[in-house]
Each structure stands twice: as structure tokens, then as C-alpha cells.
Structure 1
């Protein structure tokens, strides 16, 4: 068997001796096998695409990851500022989303400080607020 491709020999043996009591025909067996293979690849890169090729959805670049990380960091920071603003306002104020969160938080903190004169300003808390935003 020198010079023969092992894969070809294995396939030839199966097709030549295919159990037709289980499989309808050799042709149907080949169609089923190819269909199974195509489905296992999720139709990726099997046919030529017209126009620009699609970006592979299975991979993410380092630049994409850094961008996502930066966006998440900003969203989390803004959410913390909004929650802190709401907490300082005793939950009475509705905190706006996005960049308005800082202004609302400062306004709520100022109003709370003006209304609650019995509690002095906590310099540690104000320093933390300034560092977050």
C-alpha cells in the first residue's frame, strides 16, 4: 500500500462496503456526510462572499478589547457617581444618566449640605467624590 493516501483508502473502503440496510445509498451517505461537515463549520468561509468580506465574529482584537474596557470603566465610574449622588440626597433626587451625573451629584450634595446643617461636611467623603469624577 505504499504510495496510497491513507485517508483515500479509508474512504474508499467505507463507500465500497457501505451497509445499505442502514444508509439508503452511497450517494445519500455522501450528501449526509458533506451536509454534516458544512453544518459543523456554521457555513463559515465555505462560499465566496460578494463585496467586502465580513469581519470574523469569533475573534476580538486588542484594540477592540481596550476600547470595551475603557467604555466599561467610564460607565462604572459614572454609575458610582450617580449612586453616590442619590445616596447623599437621601434617595429623594433622581439622578440623570451620563455626564449629567456629576452635576446632579454636586447639586444634591450642595442641597443636602444646605438642608442638613446639623451634620458637618465629611472631608474624607468629599475627597473620595472628587477623586471619582
Structure 2
């Protein structure tokens, strides 16, 4: 589904921008929405992009805890910014968006890593999100 793919990519870009600027992702999202409304050359921010960013923002602390807990030998601060934000987006969608099949989430996040990150990143992203997928029933209860 191309629309969902684009929505995920834009959500990732918003999370990345917030991380790079040290800004709240909801503020960055609002900036993107405002900009898309005032500049007809910019595509609108989709509902699904907003849902992903807002969903992550509401669970950011928990998501970062999970990523830190299950990443082997990598702290959040040491991770490349791209990888960290792909993982954040993927963890949110994997654990809290039931409408998206887990395999789709993993594949989409690996594709983002292939497009935006290092050669090693797709395997890292796949491995960590795969671990969260295995533990999903217990993680959602916590």
C-alpha cells in the first residue's frame, strides 16, 4: 500500500527531525502540517502519519525503554539517529497498531533502513524489532 509506505516515511522524517533538533515531535508534526497547508507545493500530512507520530509521542518513554532494554551492546545515545528513529516508529507500530500485520511493519522498517541508513542497519533493525515481535504479548501488558 503506497499511501501507508509514504505515511511511514514521513512519520520517520518527523521523528528524525525532532531528534536532530532536540524538539518535541508533536511540535515538529504541527510545523509540517502548517507548512503543508500554507505551501501548495508540499503534500498534505496524512492522517496515518499523524497517527504514527502522535502514537509514538504518547508512548515515547516506554518505547525508548524497550529499545534500550533489548538492543545488545547499543545504548540509545550511541545508535545512529536514523536507526534510533526507525526503531521508535517500528516499535510503536508493531506493538500498538493492531491493524498492521507484524511482517509488514518489519519489512517497512527494514526498507527505511536500506534507504536512509548504513549497510549494517537493516539487519540490526530487523533483529531488534523481531525480538520485540516475539515478546509482543508480554510487552503490551507491561
The structure richer in helix per residue is: 2
Same fold (TM over 0.5): no
Structure 1 length-normalised TM: 0.27
Structure 2 length-normalised TM: 0.26
The structure number with the bigger radius of gyration is: 1
Q: Report 1 or 2 for greater relative contact order, CA contacts < 8 Å, sequence distance ≥ 6.
A: 2
